[in-house]
Structure 1
Amino acid sequence: MSNGSFRFLSFQGKTRVLHLSWMAFFISFLVWFNHAPLMVTIREQFGLTTSEVNAILLLNVALTIPARILIGMLVDALGPRRVYALVLILSGFICVAFAMADSFESLAMSRFLLGFVGAGFVVGIRLISEWYPAYELGLAEGIYGGWGNFGAAFAGLSMPALALAFGGDDGWRWAVAATGVLSIVYAVLFYAMVRDTPKGSTYFKPKKGGAMEVTSKGDFVLYVIMNLPLFLAMGLIAWQLGPAKLGLVGVTTTNLIYGVIAVMCAFQLLRIWQVNGHVFREPVPDFDRYAFKQVALLDLVYMASFGSELAVVSMLPLYFLDTFDISPVLAGMLGGSFALMNLFGRPGGGYLADRCGRKLILLLMLAGISVGYLLMGQINGSWPLPLAVLLVIFCSVFVQGGCGAVYASVPLVKRRLTGQVAGMAGAYGNVGGVVFLVVLAQVSPAVFFYVLGAVALAILVLVALFMDEPSPQTSEVMPDGSVRMIEVP
């Protein structure tokens, strides 16, 4: 690996991997959110009710929580090249199925399955960490996350125009199907052009699959505790769809879903014991230990950053429309400014983490998130609109920067577990999105912003008290059984 300056405009070596990776992420998010800007047309064509529209939007993120955990395990075991290609191909076919839907049920089922593509993000985190050294890792992961995440915003900008270009009542179908075909084609190109590691490097894999390895009794307990919110969030989604809220599924079906979630939870806890029960019988050697509290804290920071982003992006256009005397088009554009900062905020957060220290930048970003949301709770119709927009952009910079700083730290926890650590953090982002949207449904927007600010402040305290500065060097067991101190990468 070269120790030279960061080369963004090259298309050789690690820079080529970076560009191919963020493009894969960009396409996955384009496919994941291609329906959102077309929902008005889809609603009219299918005669959907408000509850059915909300159900489709909710189902689009439901599968992502368990999928990110699963994909994290697969990428550690099989390698990023194969797993990313598989995600893009499967998602492309499901996307085409959505375009061919002829009923609400088929629309809902295909959108539910497409939540799988949101897990593709995890794959690139492990891939980038194999190619970039620690002093460039935050910037590289930030570019990957920020530019790839822009796929969701690009969907909003491009899909209506693409549907109009195809024309007719089925223009939206052709537009959606085109993104699915693009995903399939790109999967083939990605598989052909990417390697899991630089030539001569070792790809470290977990000793056991099915659950993350932990290395102490206390970490075992903490890992179990941190798994529970993942299943509670899925239960919240079922509750939202059930008779208590949207009423799209009956009592019997809702209870059946609760039962399936409970079985999934029990199976996961059993698998955690099967993989890690040995820590209660014999200690793990010191050289192979890591602190799971690092994973838990990164999960919480990502919940406060990306989780709040998911919720705020969903409500911000309507919030601007209701608060200020502006047109729906302008409200939509102003609301989109929050996600637009991904292009700069994530790389910036990662770059600062590389240069100034991971823990310090995480604390700084959490402080900015907390202050930003608490100030947003003060916005009302008497504010000058430009001032409100500037405050939203200020808050967004710290939110996106927090995301970048998290994934500058993820690959430094334990090399062979990077995919699983990334998957769990990503899943917590979705947990945050679900929980915060449920909070929004119960309170006013001002109180909602106060809650987001208070959560970020509480997590800041936890990070300040308990997080250790990640080390770029760690020990790993080589395939021949020997132990080697390695750097990332």
Structure 2
Amino acid sequence: MFDSNIVGSANALVGGWGNMGAGITTIVMALIADGFVHAGLSPNLSWRVSLVIPAFLCFIVGLSNYFFADDCPQGDWSKRGLPIERTPEIHIASNEKNDKNIEVHDANKVVKDDAVSITDSEKNVTVPTSTRPDLKTFLTALKNPNVLILMIMYSCCFGVELAVDGALTLFFFNHKSFNLSKKNAGLIASLFGLMNLFSRATGGFISDFANEKLGIRGRLIAQFIIFFLEGLFLFVFPYSLNTLPQAIVILILFSYFTQAGCGTSFGIVPFVDPKIMGAVSGLVGGGGSIGGAIFTAVFKAYGPKTPMPFTVLGIVVMIVSFTTLLLRIDGRMLLEWKRK
């Protein structure tokens, strides 16, 4: 959908602002539940009733997407590239005797015929007809080692994000040296999700910038560095719990790199196998959900009173960061010893 030089930024910005809902929800849902408690409901019932509100909002958003959203910037995907009705040409006033057509100088140049306009990057690309992905498509994607590696890597960023989102409030609440109320613990924990306002997007920006300077290898370098730093700050977090300000600083740092890793990952995904990009994206995204389930089990196994899960996650993520060395995208790798 997006040009190759901004695909990382575009995917990361949209995904990051979506994930930012986790931080907002942590704050808003607590306030809604408190409102129901003050209205006379029990605490247990207030949480159940409050969940009706996001369910209703999701239903409305789903209907809005179905009826009003375009499939892609060119409109309906099934009609992309087909002839459309000619639209009136736009004219501007000038000092010359005859008006001249506007010439558009941007990434989406207007094609002055009956074809749908396409971006410069698509001029020499044959776009296949939209088809429903089948089992064979997903099996083809699963046979690609790059897909499997990116599934594991995405489980170590988005999966970590899911697990930490669910555990952070109780962790701060149960850490007795901080002596926080559940409400204040939730507010501090919400910082983790709210970082998505910019953190995932900057991961995409970094990936695109590195691609501009070094090509696809630049994206791999960005992927490795961000994942390694994510693991490092996750590992350091348990050692920052002497004071609350220190813990918050390290929380923000590992939050940033966790979410930026999601951005750099999906800066690589579109280049793995463009012909089946939908299947590749779905599998990599599914890897994040699987990672979330696994890492949530780690937090549950250790309980909410110990920082040991952060140590475990940090070690795992640092090890997984080195799998970037195994990625081969468009014939390029992170380390190329014999390349001329």
Q: TM-score, normalised by structure 1?
A: 0.49
Structure 2 counterpart of 1:427, from 262, 286, 295: 286
Structure 1 counterpart of 2:198, from 313, 336, 344: 344
- Identity among equivalent pairs (%): 27
In structure 2, the CA distance between the partners of 1:192 and 1:326, relative to structure 1 (3 Å rule), is same
1:145 partner letter: G
2:254 partner letter: C
Q: Tell me how far 1:184 sits from its aligned partner.
A: 3.2
Tell me the equivalent position of 1:359.
220
CA shift digits 1:334-356 (9 cap, x unpaired): 12211111111110001111111
Matches within 5 A, 1:454-465: 454-464=315-325
User: 2: CA distance between counterparts of 1:162 and 1:310?
Assistant: 22
**Count of aligned residue pairs for this structure pair:** 266
Contact 1:358–1:469, Cα closer than 8 Å, also in 2: no
In structure 2, the CA distance between the partners of 1:348 and 1:162, relative to structure 1 (3 Å rule), is same
User: 1: CA distance between counterparts of 2:315 and 2:47?
Assistant: 41
2:179 partner letter: I
Tell me the equivalent position of 1:212.
137
Matches within 5 A, 1:54-453: 130=1, 132-162=2-32, 164=35, 167=39, 169=41, 175-197=50-72, 198=74, 199-200=80-81, 202=127, 204-205=129-130, 209-213=134-138, 223=142, 292-323=144-175, 324-328=177-181, 329-356=183-210, 357-380=218-241, 383-443=242-302, 445-453=306-314
Q: Tell me how far 1:156 sits from its aligned partner.
A: 2.5
User: 1: CA distance between counterparts of 2:294 and 2:16?
Assistant: 23
In structure 2, the CA distance between the partners of 1:331 and 1:158, relative to structure 1 (3 Å rule), is closer
In structure 2, the CA distance between the partners of 1:175 and 1:213, relative to structure 1 (3 Å rule), is closer
Contact 2:22–2:190, Cα closer than 8 Å, also in 1: no
Tell me the equivalent position of 1:73.
none
Tell me the equivalent position of 1:468.
328
In structure 2, stretches of 5+ residues that fail to align are 75-79, 82-117, 119-126, 211-217, 332-340
2:251 partner letter: V
Structure 2 residue matching 1:360: 3-state secondary structure: helix
Q: Tell me how far 1:362 sits from its aligned partner.
A: 0.7
1:180 partner letter: A
Contact 2:27–2:187, Cα closer than 8 Å, also in 1: no
Q: Tell me how far 1:406 sits from its aligned partner.
A: 1.0
User: 2: CA distance between counterparts of 1:442 and 1:156?
Assistant: 23
In structure 1, stretches of 5+ residues that fail to align are 1-129, 225-291, 472-489
In structure 2, the CA distance between the partners of 1:411 and 1:175, relative to structure 1 (3 Å rule), is same
Tell me the equivalent position of 1:9.
none
Tell me the equivalent position of 1:66.
none
CA shift digits 1:207-248 (9 cap, x unpaired): 861243566xxx8xxx37xxxxxxxxxxxxxxxxxxxxxxxx
Q: TM-score, normalised by structure 2?
A: 0.69
Contact 2:133–2:279, Cα closer than 8 Å, also in 1: no
1:327 partner letter: L
Q: Tell me how far 1:469 sits from its aligned partner.
A: 4.1
Q: Which has the higher helix share?
A: 1
Task: Report which of the two structures shows the higher radius of gyration computed on alpha carbons.
Answer: 2
User: 2: CA distance between counterparts of 1:175 and 1:371?
Assistant: 37
CA shift digits 1:390-445 (9 cap, x unpaired): 01111111000001111122222223422222221222112212222222333473
In structure 2, the CA distance between the partners of 1:405 and 1:317, relative to structure 1 (3 Å rule), is same
In structure 2, the CA distance between the partners of 1:312 and 1:156, relative to structure 1 (3 Å rule), is closer
